[in-house]
């Protein structure tokens, strides 16, 4: 099993945790709305507001067919579909994420417009020119070959398609021992800088329309998220998440944001025909 799959099989945001949060908040069993679920099912920084920013950046509407690369448990794609009325496909490497995405999507009645497919973003099983937009949030940081990832995104988009994503980036030359820790403990494989992304996008055939530095906002969000994980660890009941292993890695990761070595970007671009 790949390291990424193992990492996400044990992640603190998981199907059991989301279902528990939903039951504690709302009671009942899987008779929920997308607006209720979206408080718990996004695994990126900024929750639904960050998804809404991508909707604006890519100009998504009901006519779109959206591909979410590294869709996780499907939170962003459900938000996009619910807000815009579009259809979409979520692609993810981790089978347990795909299973969770399908169950949660059915629980809020969006299964007729959204499907979820297991696969690797650098060698996608999906056909050419099927989508009008590609999105991604804090997933591409796991993928070492970003040139191949963006070539695949280009291949799966229609000629005038758009791409809009957020991701973790380096802001400094990280020492090899720091990179090794990020790889080994967080599966952050070969992080790119903002300039790297701009170069890969141009080489793959995209024209940037928006590049935003999110580093300051994310540093604050990450401090809060670290507290949330510390709280989850306190009520750990021996469930899916391995908090003992996760927390020290997460503290190290958040420290790199505080020190200015890591940051975040939001980028949108159009596909050159
Ligand atoms: C931090 S989660 C983000 C999930 C989702 N984008 C969200 O915001 O809720 C990263 C996801 O990327 C997926 N992933 C990592 N490498 C991948 C690859 N090569 N191809 C497809 N998905 C991948 C992981 O399985 C994981 O579900």
Average pLDDT over residues 27-48: 88
- Residue ranges in the chain assigned as alpha helix (H): 3-9, 15-26, 34-37, 47-58, 75-84, 95-107, 146-156, 176-186, 194-204, 215-234, 243-258
| Distance in angstroms (rounded) separating the CA atoms of residues 208 and 48 | 23
User: Is 270 a pocket residue for ligand 1 (Cβ < 6 Å)?
Assistant: no
Nearest CA, atom 9, ligand 1: 43
Average pLDDT over residues 138-146: 96
Q: Of 118, 139, 141, which is best to mutate to test ligand 1, by the most ligand atoms within 8 angstroms of its C-beta?
A: 139
User: Is 66 a pocket residue for ligand 1 (Cβ < 6 Å)?
Assistant: no
Q: Which atom of ligand 1 is nearest to the CA of 44?
A: 8
The segment with the largest mean pLDDT, out of 5-9, 78-82, 227-231, is 78-82
Nearest CA, atom 26, ligand 1: 72
Q: Could you give the count of Cα atoms lying within 13 Å of 106 in the half-sphere of its Cβ?
A: 7
Task: Check pLDDT > 50 for residue 215.
Answer: yes
Matching residue, tokens 């009901």? 62
Compute the distance from residue 220 Cα to the ligand 1 centre, in Å: 22
Task: Find the range with the poorest average confidence among 10-19, 43-52, 120-129, 231-240.
Answer: 231-240
Q: Of 46, 78, 92, which is best to mutate to test ligand 1, by the most ligand atoms within 8 angstroms of its C-beta?
A: 92
User: Is 92 a pocket residue for ligand 1 (Cβ < 6 Å)?
Assistant: yes
Percent of the chain whose pLDDT exceeds 90:
81
Q: Of 70, 214, 240, which is best to mutate to test ligand 1, by the most ligand atoms within 8 angstroms of its C-beta?
A: 70
User: Is 167 a pocket residue for ligand 1 (Cβ < 6 Å)?
Assistant: no
| Distance in angstroms (rounded) separating the CA atoms of residues 163 and 131 | 10
Which residues, in sequence order, are bridge partners of residue 210? 268
Task: Find the range with the poorest average confidence among 12-21, 53-62, 111-120, 170-179.
Answer: 12-21
Task: Check pLDDT > 60 for residue 128.
Answer: yes
Compute the distance from residue 243 Cα to the ligand 1 centre, in Å: 19
pLDDT averaged over every residue in the chain: 93
The segment with the largest mean pLDDT, out of 27-31, 136-140, 231-235, is 136-140
Structure tokens at 262: 């890591």
**pLDDT confidence band for 229 (50 / 70 / 90):** confident
Task: Check pLDDT > 50 for residue 217.
Answer: yes
Domains of the chain: 3-268 (3.40.50.150)
Q: Which residue has the higher pLDDT, 229 or 139?
A: 139
User: Is 87 a pocket residue for ligand 1 (Cβ < 6 Å)?
Assistant: no
For residue 72, is it left (φ>0), alpha (ψ between -120 and 50) or beta? left
| Model pLDDT, residue 237 | 55
Nearest CA, atom 7, ligand 1: 43
Compute the distance from residue 70 Cα to the ligand 1 centre, in Å: 3
């Amino acid at each position: 099993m790949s390291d990424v799959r193992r990492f996400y099989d044990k992640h603190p945001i998981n199907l059991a945790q989301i279902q528990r949060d939903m039951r504690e908040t709302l009671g009942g069993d899987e008779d929920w709305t997308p607006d209720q679920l979206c408080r718990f099912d996004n695994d990126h920084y900024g929750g639904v507001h960050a998804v809404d920013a991508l909707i604006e950046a890519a100009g998504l509407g009901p006519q779109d067919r959206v591909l979410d690369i590294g869709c996780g448990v499907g939170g962003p794609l459900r938000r996009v579909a619910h807000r815009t009325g579009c259809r979409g496909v979520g692609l993810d490497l981790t089978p347990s994420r795909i299973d969770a995405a399908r169950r949660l999507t059915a629980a809020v009645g969006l299964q007729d417009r959204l499907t979820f497919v297991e696969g690797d973003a650098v060698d996608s099983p999906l056909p050419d020119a099927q989508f009008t937009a590609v999105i991604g949030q804090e997933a591409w940081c796991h993928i070492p070959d970003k040139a191949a990832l963006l070539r695949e995104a280009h291949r799966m988009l229609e000629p005038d398609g758009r791409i809009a994503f957020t991701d973790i980036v380096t802001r400094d030359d990280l020492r090899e021992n720091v990179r090794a820790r990020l790889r080994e403990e967080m599966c952050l494989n070969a992080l790119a800088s903002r300039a790297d992304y701009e170069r890969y996008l141009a080489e793959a055939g995209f024209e940037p329309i928006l590049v935003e530095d999110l580093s300051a906002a994310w540093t604050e969000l990450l401090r809060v998220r670290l507290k949330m994980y510390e709280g989850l660890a306190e009520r750990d009941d021996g469930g899916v998440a391995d908090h003992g292993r996760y927390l020290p890695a997460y503290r190290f990761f958040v420290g790199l944001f505080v020190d200015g070595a890591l940051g975040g970007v939001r980028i949108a671009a159009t596909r050159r025909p």
